[in-house]
Amino acid sequence: MLITFLLSTMCIYAEDRPYLCEFGVQGGLSYYVGDAVPHIFMYPQYAAGGQFRYKFTPRWALQVKGQWQQIKYPAPDEQGVPVKDNMLKNQMINIDVVAEFNFFRFGQKQYDTRIKPITPYIFLGVGMGVYNDYSKVGAYMPFGFGMKWKFAPRWGLNIAWQHQLFFADNLENNPLYDNYPNEYKMNGSNILKNDLTSTLTLGIVFEFARQKAVCRRCQ
């Protein structure tokens, strides 16, 4: 009887095994801040992509994300001053790898009372973008924060506000804007005076690759 009880207890624990991987898609809004647009959330456009996440612990994870986005901004006049009556658009593809930190121990709450189905999180990493009608390639630093909600045993929702701080000042595909002096108080959004794009997205994820069971009987 004692052996049977112990085996059943171990199997109950095994049912609480987390899934280690996630795959999902996301979509939302995109905008740009730089020489032509000085403030956030001006001229919002569309963004969409996919993501893969590997969870090391309930607190730490690694995410790889590929995302298409479009930015919109005023064209410059002959002096390089933005003219709002003449708008331009630019498409880009970004691929980044970020480390994520959950403020709470995140997962499907079953027997471990420390696990929470909802948590805010922050992230930071490295990325590479293709922009200016896919003719230029540049590196950027992705960072931001968001919220995760595990609403079913293998399904979850993510809201993320991500920023891509490029190590360049040429996202506008126009020499009058590229590395332009701050004479008109433009591009003053960051200390590096480089261009920045941001996305506010909602994503849905599906979990797979469950953690191995404690014993063969529980598999």
- Model confidence over 118-176: pLDDT tens digits? 999 999 999 999 998 888 999 999 999 999 999 998 999 999 999 999 998 888 888 77
pTM, two decimals, is: 0.83
Task: Please tell me the predicted confidence (pLDDT) of residue 11.
Answer: 45
In which element (H, E) is residue 9 found?
Answer: helix 2-14
Distance (Å, rounded) from C-alpha 48 to C-alpha 34? Answer: 22
Could you tell me the CATH number of the domain that includes residue 146?
2.40.160.20
Yes or no: say if 73 and 85 are a contact pair by the CB < 8 Å rule. Answer: no
Residue 65 burial (10 A CB sphere; 0-12, 13-18, 19+)? buried
- Model confidence over 56-75: pLDDT tens digits? 999 999 999 999 999 999 98
Task: Please tell me the predicted confidence (pLDDT) of residue 95.
Answer: 97
Q: Would strands 136-152 and 118-131 be described as parallel, antiparallel, or unpaired?
A: antiparallel
By residue range, what is the domain housing residue 110? Answer: 2-218
* Total count of domains within the chain: 1
Yes or no: say if 161 and 151 are a contact pair by the CB < 8 Å rule. Answer: no
Tokens of residue 141, six digits: 């630093």
